[in-house]
Structure 1
Amino acid sequence: MLRLLARGSGHHGLTEIADSLGLARGTAHGILRTLQRVEFVEQDHTTGRYRLGAALLHLGTSYLDANELRSRSINWADTLAARSGQEVRIGMHHDGAVLVVHHVFRPDDSVQTLGIGAMLPLHATALGKVLLAYDPDLSAAARRRELTSLTRRTITRTQMLERVLTEVRGQGWAGEAEEYMPGEASIAAPIRIPGGLVIGAIGISGAADRLCDSTGRPRATLVRQVVQAAESVTTSLVDEN
Structure 2
Amino acid sequence: MPGPIQSLSRAAAILRLLAGGERRLGLSEVSTALGLAKGTAHGILRTLQQEGFVEQDPESGKYQLGAELLRLGQSYLDVHELRARALVWADDLARAAGETVYLGVLHQQGVLIVHHVFRPDDTRQVLEVGSMQPLHSTAIGKVLVAYDPVARGELGDGPYESYTLRTLTEPADVDAECSLIRERGWADSVEETWEGVASIAALIQDRRRNPVGAVCINGPVERICQDGFVKPSLVASVRSAARAISRDLGAGRF
For normalisation by structure 2, the TM-score amounts to 0.67
Structure 1 position 132, deviation (Å): 0.3
Out of 195, 218, 233, the position equivalent to 1:182 is: 195
Gaps of at least 5 residues in structure 1 are 1-57
After superposition, give the CA deviation of every residue in 1:24-56 in whole Å (9 maximum; x if it has no partner): xxxxxxxxxxxxxxxxxxxxxxxxxxxxxxxxx
2:151 is aligned to 138
Structure 1 position 62, deviation (Å): 4.3
Which has the larger Rg? 2
2:87 is aligned to 74
For normalisation by structure 1, the TM-score amounts to 0.71
1:25 is aligned to none
After superposition, give the CA deviation of every residue in 1:61-110 in whole Å (9 maximum; x if it has no partner): 94953222111100000000000000000000001100000000000011
Letter in 1 for 2:184: Q
Out of 129, 134, 159, the position equivalent to 1:116 is: 129
Secondary structure, aligned partner of 2:250: helix
Which one scores higher on RCO, CA 8 angstroms, separation ≥ 6?
1
Distance in 2, matches of 1:137 and 1:114, equals 28
What does residue range 1-241 of structure 1 map to in structure 2 within 5 Å?
62=75, 64-215=77-228, 217-238=229-250
Identity of aligned residues (%): 42
Distance in 2, matches of 1:175 and 1:114, equals 22
Secondary structure, aligned partner of 1:102: strand
- Are the counterparts in 1 of residues 135 and 145 from structure 2 also a CA contact under 8 Å? yes
Distance in 2, matches of 1:96 and 1:173, equals 21
Secondary structure, aligned partner of 1:151: coil
Distance in 2, matches of 1:67 and 1:136, equals 22
- Are the counterparts in 1 of residues 82 and 249 from structure 2 also a CA contact under 8 Å? no
- Are the counterparts in 1 of residues 158 and 169 from structure 2 also a CA contact under 8 Å? no
- Relative distance call for 1:75 and 1:160 in structure 2 (3 A) is same
Structure 1 position 138, deviation (Å): 2.5
Structure 1 position 195, deviation (Å): 2.3
Secondary structure, aligned partner of 1:110: coil
Gaps of at least 5 residues in structure 2 are 1-70
